[in-house]
Structure 1
Amino acid sequence: MSPEQCRAARAWLNWSQEELAAKANVSSSTLRDFEARRRIPIANNRAAIQGVLEEAGIEFLFMEGEPLGLCWRSTRAKKPNNVEVTKRRRVRAGQLSKS
């Protein structure tokens, strides 16, 4: 998961950095620094952040090991109550989708 994918996933879920950090049980500074590309969290923290986002219905996309974007998991995945999904969207790392 790249910092851009993390920010995009958090935006889709309408979560603040503090909310995601609390859900992943990592410090706010760890998440803030990761999203700003100031440092890479230790493996446990990075896995915890990604795991929380995946549990919320986010799927991270990669091509040949490089981050490509993200999408909602299949409709079978449980979506959070505060998120309404009208169609499947993909966002490339570093870009925002207006569709």
Structure 2
Amino acid sequence: MFVALAATVAGCATSPVDYGASLSKQDRKWASPECQQARMEASDYDAREKKQPGWGTGVFLGPYGLGLAAAIKEHQQKQRKLFARAVHLRCSSLPLPKELHSD
């Protein structure tokens, strides 16, 4: 279980807000209403993710704790990737980076 948790944490996806901020503001898509909506949704997701209880609350004690923590972390990483992908598609004219392709 430790290996799964370590592998999940090691592959952390960038925050969709940070990813959006890294895109070129000179791109013709950047000022579009679709891009603004995607950045707002990414920001809302980021805020919700930060409001979730911390990992140190003792919720993950017991025989299934590490597996549960790993599953939650994996789900968060997938959500971050989906939001970053949406931001890229709506805000950038560049091809989709390999790391944002669907699994």
Q: Which has the higher contact order (CA 8 A, sep 6+)?
A: 2
Shorter-chain TM-score: what band? 0.3 to 0.5
The alignment's TM-score, normalised by the length of structure 2, stands at 0.32
TM-score by length of 1: 0.33
Name the one with the larger strand percent: 1
- The structure with the largest alpha-carbon Rg is 2
Which structure dedicates a bigger proportion of its chain to helix? 2
